[in-house]
């Protein structure tokens, strides 16, 4: 699809196809993901939508620079850079792997 972007979870059990702005067009959820609570699942879907939008922005940045638009002009547009997406993915990985509570059951 033209003008779309995609992202998937590290496990590959959750994936989204979005518009370039991150609006979901399709969501694929593996049955194993349904065992998670609805809030956690929704948060993961939104996280993937944000990552998909960032990937689309990075591609647009590259296309604009490749077409001869000055890098300074493209910078003023505020489009994400590849390192922005990498930092977002690392931050998201930390949040996903962090325990919901430090309390243990006894």
Strands laid side by side in the 24-29 sheet = 4-8, 14-19, 24-29
pLDDT (tens digit per residue) in 58-74: 999 999 999 999 999 99
pLDDT (tens digit per residue) in 15-44: 999 999 999 999 999 999 999 999 999 999
Per DSSP, the residues of 28-56 read EE-GGGGGS-HHHHHHHHHHHHHHHHHHH
pLDDT of residue 63: 96
Which residues are registered as beta bridge partners of 83? none
pTM, rounded to two decimals: 0.79
């Amino acid at each position: 699809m033209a003008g779309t972007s995609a992202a998937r979870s590290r496990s590959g059990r959750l994936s989204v196809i979005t518009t370039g702005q991150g609006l979901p067009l399709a969501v694929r959820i593996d049955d194993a993901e349904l065992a998670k609570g609805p809030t956690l699942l929704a948060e993961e879907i939104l996280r993937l939508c944000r990552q998909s939008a960032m990937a689309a922005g990075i591609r647009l940045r590259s296309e604009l620079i490749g077409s001869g638009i000055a890098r300074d002009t493209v910078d003023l547009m505020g489009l994400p850079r590849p390192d922005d997406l990498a930092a977002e993915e690392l931050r998201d990985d930390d949040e996903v792997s962090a325990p919901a509570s430090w309390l243990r059951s006894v």
